Structure 1
Amino acid sequence: MSPLDELEDNPLPEGQLMLKLVATPQDTNLHGDISAGWVISQMEQAAELAAARLAHGRTATVAVNSMDFLCPVRTGSLVQIHTLLIETGNSSMKFNVEVWILPPNERDESTLYKVTEASFVMVALDEKGRIRTLPTQNGH
């Protein structure tokens, strides 16, 4: 099974909606589509938000797996980024991060299109920027 097949297997977003924003003209590439760099930056921000909640503080990205982009993101699209905790270690957290869009002028909010997904590995940091142990989670 190719990575592209895996991307197409899930018809609906998985995980918690972490960010919801509109793609604007300032985020475009030379061809007028939203740049992949902007999308990746939003994915990292969503992973960072999810990790900070779990770590009760500062975190950093230490790894991102490869990703395939399934469709372009047009200006005016409503971008939704979902995070799903996959596993935790002593100081690390692995999240699956998915990007879905509602194209501009689409009225049916159930008509979402998957743009990409990747796993992000985050670590908890102390106030000096050193890796620290995750706090104990009640019931987890």
Structure 2
Amino acid sequence: MSEQQEPIGELAIRVLAMPEHTNPAGDIFGGWVLSQMDIAGGLFTKKISKGRTVTIAVDSMTFNKPVLVGDTLCCYVSLLKTGKTSLSVKIETWVSRQYSEGREKVTEGVFTYVAVSSDRKPRLINDQYL
């Protein structure tokens, strides 16, 4: 099976991995990567649902390769499924390594968000937004 060559989804966030994001081994802390993915998913679901969304689940998460200091981390989001109040998205994280050409996929996960109203209660997602 060949390695995926291009990201799937919409670019939602791009950020530089910095030394303050490292774990004791010197690689970027997985929790920081996960938080960037969650931010990307939140931005994407807010846009398509036309309002506030909250994370309710990380349904799956795979860390394929380490993220290194100096990498440019990019999160791509695609819609997998919608419910009455929920959205399930796939998030792929790709990096451009410092001083090298090309990019590679380092993580992927499936996240579920719920659309909420101003009183933080679930709200229906209007089909016209999707």
Instruction: Specify the SS of the correspondent of 2:63.
Output: coil
Query: Structure 1: any 5+ residue segments left out of the alignment?
Result: none
Report what 1:118 is aligned to.
109
- In the alignment, is residue 78 of structure 1 matched against residue 68 of structure 2? no
Report what 1:135 is aligned to.
126
Alpha-carbon distance in structure 2 between the residues aligned to 1:94 and 1:9: 24
Q: How many residues align?
A: 130
Alpha-carbon distance in structure 2 between the residues aligned to 1:67 and 1:9: 18
Alpha-carbon distance in structure 1 between the residues aligned to 2:41 and 2:29: 19
User: How well do the aligned residues superpose, as a CA RMSD in angstroms?
Assistant: 1.5
Q: Counting strand residues as a fraction of each chain, which structure ranks higher?
A: 2
After superposition, the C-alpha distances for 1:56-84 in whole angstroms (9 at most, x for unaligned) are 11110111122221111110001010000
Report what 2:32 is aligned to.
38
The normalised TM-score by structure 2 is: 0.94
Aligned-pair identity in percent equals 35
Instruction: Specify the SS of the correspondent of 1:12.
Output: coil
Runs of 4+ with deviation above 6 angstroms: none
1:3-22 alignment runs, 5 A limit: 9-22=3-16
The normalised TM-score by structure 1 is: 0.87
